[in-house]
A and B are shown apart, each in its own frame.
Chain A
Amino acid sequence: MSKQTKGNKLTVFPYGPQHPVLPEPIQLKFVVDEEKIVDVLPNIGYVHRGIERAIELNDYRRNIYICERICGICNFMHGMAYTETIEKLTDTVVPVRASYLRTIWAELARLQSHMLWLGLFAESIGFESLFMQIWKIREIVLDLNERTGGHRIHLSTNRIGGVGKDMDANLISTYFKQLDKLQKNYDPIANLFHKDAAFKEKTQNIGILPKKIANHLGAVGPVIRGSGIPQDMRTTGYEAYGELDFKPITYDSEDVYARALVRVDETYQSMEIMRQALKQMPDGPILNKNEKFPEGTAIVRVEQPRGECFYYGIGNGTIHLERCKIRTPTMPNIPPLLHMLVGYEVADINPIVHSIDPCISCTERITYVNKEDA
């Protein structure tokens, strides 16, 4: 892209790594021509910790906990994807009840994450009190988390070969009751997102990502579904998803508004999947222990709230894994983000950056270290 347009002088200004709108450190350098964005340069690595290396150094059974801490928001799904990888490497069969429980808790995590995003998004476009309202009803989901696993954020119920906690009849009826309460409180908010004129004004026709480019740049999750492509890893039928009835939600308008509505509707979908799974869940054992060491290679793809998450593991028959490669959904969503931003005004930066639901602590698989610093 040219640095000189119509003879105007271009300005470069940094957005981040510490910024009031972003809770996490990412730096985007904007090249602007007065108010118009001409170019964007991303700069990541501020939260890189080297987890993939730590996974190789640790005992493979203890890695569940470090994988859960790749991202605190979709922690259950990271733990699930890691245990699925190890189960494939050790040929362990997961009991049916355990895979239903995993499905239910994964949807609980999605519910929590989407509500978190809707709140942050509302705040980023100036709807402060809506942010407070959404976070107030999000506490219902966190209370369910706490009743299930004993903690508001980290459930930590994944074990290799199943799950470590069961749900009794009392807890299941609490789930149904709380889901109804949640839906009742959520209805007016979803209605607002669908109908409010001010919200439409701020989000429609900005951050356009055409269907063809979304596919070409490899967007995942709600970003690609907001461009009209029904790509959802849950349709591959891992865990109990194959036995449940749902369809990927898509919108065709390709803008920030479409991506917001995909998430609004997916919260309803998650509640529906949870109800189905709770009704269909069979009785039986929840853990199938296997003392074999991981050997061979395995690939696991799961659908996280932000999109497809990819785990690739190589085992060598010892207590340590040879390699564990993790690709998290925000990383493939950064090139589409750069495409979305160019051509819009500085005031549109906040909603567009938020529309991909950036999760930086997931993304940081590489870093840049200055030689003089190290």
Chain B
Amino acid sequence: MGLIQKSQLKSPWVLHFDCGSCNGCDIEILAALTPKFDLERFGIVNIGDPKQADVLLVTGPANKRNHRVLKNLYNQMPQPKLVIAVGTCACTGGVFHNCPNVLGGVDNVVPVDVYVPGCAVRPEQIIDAVVLALNKLAGLAQSEEEE
């Protein structure tokens, strides 16, 4: 495993984008980064720049206005990249399923690797999802090596 892959696994940087959530999941993502849950002990840092990020955390359903922004952010991230859909809205549209401006889950716009249902999700679930995503990243790195 190369140095870059190793550092990605030991310290993945996450980018957070709010697609149209009610803020409940967003504040839980922030709560997961703060002392009680402390996601940083896994080396995870919240970063604002998509070009430096490895994991994209998306909250809320995709809508007709912001699907372009989401796609842009996804395209700007370097490979290998992972997408985690945080919250029921991001998975399926949830409580907003019949709202006129909503397209549904974010998997209509970008490919999603880990789904985290819950309204709002608990910080423990977010930690679990990131660990699952890291396992997938390790698998990706391994298969790349074999090739």
Contacts and interface: CB of A to CB of B under 8 A. Distances in A.
A57 B100 CA distance: 10
B78 interface: no
Interface string A351-364: 00000000111001
Given A25-B18, A47-B18, A136-B34, A54 B100 contact: yes
Given A23-B27, A49-B101, A367-B63, 20 more contacts: A17-B69, A23-B16, A24-B23, A25-B18, A25-B69, A46-B69, A48-B20, A54-B98, A54-B100, A57-B98, A58-B98, A66-B96, A72-B22, A72-B26, A75-B24, A152-B120, A153-B24, A361-B23, A367-B65, A373-B68
Contacts of A361: 18, 20-23, 60
A53 B21 contact: no
Interface of B: 16-28, 30-31, 34-36, 47-50, 60-61, 63-66, 68-69, 73, 95-96, 98-102, 119-120, 122
A47 B19 contact: yes
A49 B34 contact: no
A296 B35 CA distance: 50
Which secondary structure dominates chain A's binding surface? loop
A230 to B, nearest CB: 28
Contacts of A154: 24, 119-120
Contacts, number: 135
A66 B97 CA distance: 11
The 10 closest A-B pairs by CB, nearest first: A20-B48, A72-B24, A72-B23, A135-B34, A72-B22, A50-B100, A47-B20, A50-B99, A69-B22, A50-B101
A132 B69 CA distance: 30
Contacts of A364: 20
A132 B122 contact: no
